[in-house]
Structure 1
Amino acid sequence: MSSSFLQQNGATILSLTIEHLWLTAAAMLFAAAIAVPVGVWLTRSPAWARPVIGLANILQTIPSLAMFGFLLPLPWLGDRAARIAIVALTAYALLPILRNTYAGIRGIDPAVMDVARAMGLTGTQRLFKVELPLAASFILTGLRTATVTCIGIATIAAAVGAGGLGELIFRGVASVDNRLVLAGAIPAAGLALVADAVLGIFERLLTVKR
Structure 2
Amino acid sequence: MLSFESLLAFVVASVLLALAPGPDNIFVLTQSAMSGLRAGLLVTVGLCTGLIVHTFAVAIGVATLIYASTWAFSLLKFVGAGYLMYLAWQSFRAKPDGVVVGEKIALSDAELYRRGIIMNVTNPKVSIFFLAFLPQFADPARGSVTMQVIALGGLFILVTLIVFAGVAVLASKLNAWFTKSARGQQILNQIAGAVFVALAVKLATAKL
TM-score of Structure 1 vs Structure 2, range by shorter chain: 0.3 to 0.5
Q: TM-score, normalised by structure 1?
A: 0.41
Larger radius of gyration: 1
TM-score, scaled relative to structure 2: 0.42
